[in-house]
Amino acid sequence: MKRKSNITPDASISLLLLKDSNLERRVLKVVEMVESGGTFAIRQLAAEFRLSPSYLQRLFKHETGIRMGEWLSEQRLQRAAYLLSNSYLTVKEITHAVGYEHTSSFIRAFERRFLQAPARYRKQNDNENKCHSEHAKRIAAA
């Protein structure tokens, strides 16, 4: 049975905003590293702080209230959504840029999170961006 995620649909908000500066320094550093745009696995992050992966995950959950694996996945998918909307990278290039090894795994995760395929998400956002820029042009011309 799958547990319901603690992450809200708008989890792009930084954990730094959810918690004040009282976050344990190692957890704070993990958040900063991941939010800087790097792609990290839990094992890599644990090794960085000379902790076991399971201890780092318990510490992260205790400090933030969010499971670390879910948070890392959400960060990757939010970054992918940004790249789909703001770059000309292919889905395969984005897959690797956000830390997925296989495009099929990335597409499945993206569809679960955003309820549509990455290509459709890009097309929808392209259409919205065109509408916004046309609207802005009409306002500027008035």
Q: Are 57 and 41 in contact (CB under 8 A)?
A: no
Q: Are 24 and 59 in contact (CB under 8 A)?
A: yes
Q: What is the pLDDT of residue 131?
A: 58
- Specify the CATH number of the domain 73-142: 1.10.10.60
The encoded tokens of residue 72 equal 């890392």
pTM summary value:
0.74
Question: CA quadruple 54, 57, 51, 62: dihedral positive or negative?
Answer: negative
Mean pLDDT across the stretch 40-69? 92
Sequence spans of domains, the chain: 14-66, 73-142
The Cα 60–Cα 119 span in angstroms is 33
CB atoms under 10 Å from CB of 46, counted, come to: 21
- Tens digits of residue pLDDT in 22-44: 678 888 888 888 888 778 899 99
Please state, for a pLDDT cut of 70, what percent of the chain lies above it: 73
The amino acid that residue 41 corresponds to is A
Higher pLDDT, 131 or 71: 71
pLDDT in tens, 2-21: 444 444 444 444 555 455 55
Q: How confident is the model at residue 102 (pLDDT cuts 50, 70, 90)?
A: very high
What pLDDT shows up at residue 5? 44
Burial zone of 110 (CB within 10 Å; 0-12 exposed, 13-18 middle, 19+ buried): buried
